[in-house]
Amino acid sequence: MRDAIERADTIVGELDNRPVAGSAYSTAWAARLVHDDGRPVFEQAREWLRTHQHADGSWGSAVPNAYDRLVCTLAAVLTLSEVPGEWAAGAVRAGVDYLREHAADWRDAPGQIIGFEIVAPYLVEQARAAGLLEIDSRTELALLREEKLALVPEGALTSQPTALLYSLEALDDLVSVPDVLKFAAPDGSMSSNPAATAAVWAATKDPAALTYLRDAARSAGDGGLPEIYPIDVFEPAWTIYLLDRAGLKPSGVQQHVERFLRLSGEDGAPLGSSADFPLPDSDCTALVAIVAHSFGYETTPLLEALLPFERDDHFAGLPHERFAPVSGNAHVLEALSQQPHRFAAQIGKTRDFLLDARRESAWWHDKWHFSDHYATAQAVFGLAGATEPGTLAGTWRWLLDGQHPDGSWGAAGGQAEDTAYAVLSLDALAPHHGPVPEDTYRRAHAYLREHLDAPDYAELWIGKSLYTPPTVVRAAVAAAWVISGQADDE
pLDDT single digits (tens) 290-313: 999 999 999 999 999 999 999 999
pLDDT (0 to 100) of residue 117: 96
Pairing of strands 225-226, 461-462: unpaired
Q: What are phi and psi of 279, to 5 degrees?
A: -120, 120
pLDDT (0 to 100) of residue 404: 98
CATH 1.50.10.20 assigned to domain 231-488? The reply is yes
Beta bridge partners of 363: 359
Query: Do the Cβ atoms of 229 and 216 come closer than 8 Å?
Result: yes
pLDDT (0 to 100) of residue 2: 73
| CA 358 to each of CA 111, 322, 351, 364, 380: distance values in angstroms, whole numbers, following the listed order | 16, 18, 11, 5, 11
Q: Which contacts of 134-140 are long-range, i.e. CB under 8 A and separated by 24 or more positions? A: 135/99, 135/103, 135/104, 136/103, 136/104, 137/103, 137/104, 137/106, 137/107, 140/107
C-alpha count within 13 angstroms, C-beta hemisphere, residue 365: 9
Architecture of domain 22-226: Alpha/alpha barrel (1.50)
Give the predicted TM-score (pTM) of the model: 0.96
Q: Do domains 22-226 and 231-488 have the same CATH topology?
A: yes
pLDDT (0 to 100) of residue 154: 87
CB neighbours of 479 closer than 8 A, spacing ≥ 6? 242, 243, 245, 246, 248, 420, 424
% of the chain beyond a pLDDT of 70:
99
| CA 25 to each of CA 193, 224, 378, 465, 466: distance values in angstroms, whole numbers, following the listed order | 11, 10, 27, 6, 9
Nearest-CA neighbor of 225 among 118, 39, 66, 72?
Answer: 72
Distance CA 182, CA 160 (A): 9
pLDDT digits (tens, 9 = 90+) for 314-339: 999 998 888 899 999 999 999 999 99
pLDDT (0 to 100) of residue 136: 87
- What are the extents of the domains in the chain? 22-226, 231-488
Nearest-CA neighbor of 119 among 127, 107, 111, 109?
Answer: 127
pLDDT digits (tens, 9 = 90+) for 274-289: 999 999 999 999 999 9
Q: What are phi and psi of 466, to 5 degrees?
A: -75, 145
User: Side chain identity at 311, as an amino acid letter?
Assistant: R
pLDDT in 10s for each residue of the chain, 490 residues: 678 999 999 999 999 999 999 999 999 999 999 999 999 999 999 999 999 999 999 999 999 999 999 999 999 999 999 999 999 999 999 999 999 999 999 999 999 999 999 999 999 999 999 999 999 888 999 999 999 999 888 899 999 999 999 999 999 999 999 999 999 999 999 999 999 999 999 999 999 999 999 999 999 999 999 999 999 999 999 999 999 999 999 989 999 999 999 999 999 999 999 999 999 999 999 999 999 999 999 999 999 999 999 999 999 999 888 889 999 999 999 999 999 999 999 999 999 999 999 999 999 999 999 999 999 999 999 999 999 989 999 999 999 999 999 999 999 899 999 999 999 999 999 999 989 999 999 999 999 999 999 989 999 999 999 999 999 999 999 999 999 998 665 5
